[in-house]
Amino acid sequence: MKDCKNYSLLRHNTFGIDAQCQRFLEYADEAEACQVAGVLRELTSPYIIIGGGSNLLLTRDFDGIVVHSAIRGIEQQGDGRIRCGSGEVWDDVVAWCVAHQLYGAENLSLIPGDVGASAVQNIGAYGVEVKDLIVGVEAVEIATGRLCSFSNADCQYGYRDSRFKHAWKNQYLITHVVYQLSTAFQPVLDYGNIRTALAEKKIDEVSAQALRDTIIDIRNQKLPDPAVLGNAGSFFMNPIVSREQYELLAKEYPQMPHYFIDDDHEKIPAGWLIEQCGWKGKSQGRAGVHDRQALVLVNRGGATGNEIVALCETIQRDVQQRFGIAIHPEVNVI
């Protein structure tokens, strides 16, 4: 078990904020996860559990324990099932699947973060959510040190949501996630501009590798590289509004993009709402809004977490005033 005092979290958050924690604990297997659970039970210090730090905004030094998984390994279980260590980099898993002719994860290429976080956050992109692939999550219960195994249904998945974000928040240390891939390639091509991007590359018959490469190209065009410009991907979740509210807005803004949720609800892209408020490419202090995707807030260099929170609040206020819609961060603010 790695156990460090006064540890810098700079390498552990893609916003590039240099905050420290009092103690950093990292587990590399199930036995170490049980040990970490023991420490958390013994001490009364506050703690947070982080993944790749791609969904984290640090506004201060953390006067407590930060827990991180370093469990590695991708194990083939037959029939397209794989069991992955929670500390594996998610995109390495997607690359591994494509290389091993296991299909279904291509559209989730290049999403930053770890396997453990994929199961907490229900990461999603281009018409696929990871909940469609997850069959089980293994974890150590902090209160008892017991190894637990959860089914997909136990995790209560929703849009960017799971039980690990609510009733089970901070209760479990995830050790492994089991995904069910398909041995037959059935590409999902209907979201956004995937088909156009494939046509531009003159690809008629798409392979899993070509689809992965295309998704990577699309993401690279729209989303900033955290190594160059600190960011945490989508800063806000796309709001889901009532049909009544959607219809009123659609009359006023016929060009407004929207996605059907159910008979009573519609989802509106927060990036569009933010762009309409004039924020795309703009800055407030050292915090800014990305010029190619308004859903992404960026650290233009040396921004503090609080400067990014201040920009977030200004944007929330503007969107609320103009559209009457509350938008909420997807990012965890500490």
Active site residues: 160, 234, 330
Asked whether position 272 contacts ligand EPU by CB under 6 A, the answer is yes
Q: Is 83 in the site for ligand EPU (CB under 6 A)?
A: no
* Residue from the set 34, 40, 125, 140 that interacts with ligand EPU by CB under 6 A: 125
Using CB under 6 A as the binding rule, whether residue 192 contacts ligand EPU is answered as yes
Q: Is 238 in the site for ligand EPU (CB under 6 A)?
A: yes
> In angstroms, what is the minimal distance from the CB of 330 to ligand EPU?
5
Among residues 24, 126, 150, 179, which is the contact residue for ligand EPU, using CB under 6 A?
A: 126
Stretch in the footprint of ligand EPU (CB under 6 A) among 31-39, 173-181, 232-240, 314-322: 232-240
Position 319 contacts ligand EPU (CB under 6 A): no
Establish if 275 lies at the interface with ligand EPU (CB under 6 A).
Answer: yes
Which residues make beta-bridge pairs with 82? 76, 179
> In the numeric block, which tokens belong to residue 325?
């819609």
Q: Are the C-beta atoms of 102 and 150 separated by less than 8 Å?
A: no
Length of the chain: 334
User: For residue 114, which of 189, 24, 175 has the smallest C-alpha distance?
Assistant: 175
**Minimum distance, C-beta of residue 154 to ligand EPU, in the bound complex (Å):** 23
Closest distance to ligand EPU from the beta carbon of 158 (Å) = 12
Which of 99, 84, 285, 332 is CA-nearest to residue 209?
99
The reply on whether position 330 binds ligand EPU by CB under 6 A is yes
214 binds ligand EPU (CB under 6 A): no
- Cα first-last separation, the chain: 24
Stretch that binds ligand EPU, among 81-89, 97-105, 291-299, 311-319 (CB under 6 A): 291-299
Closest CA relative to residue 170, chosen from 85, 71, 49: 49
Contact segment (CB under 6 A) with ligand EPU among 61-69, 71-79, 267-275, 319-327 equals 267-275
217 binds ligand EPU (CB under 6 A): no
Instruction: State which of residues 194, 294, 303, 311 lies at the interface with ligand EPU (CB under 6 A).
Output: 294
CA–CA dist 174, 96 (Å, integer): 21
Interface residue with ligand EPU, options 25, 280, 298, 307 (CB under 6 A): 280
Q: Name the site residues for ligand EPU (rule: CB under 6 A).
A: 125-126, 191-192, 222-223, 233-234, 237-238, 257, 269, 271-272, 275, 280, 293-295, 330
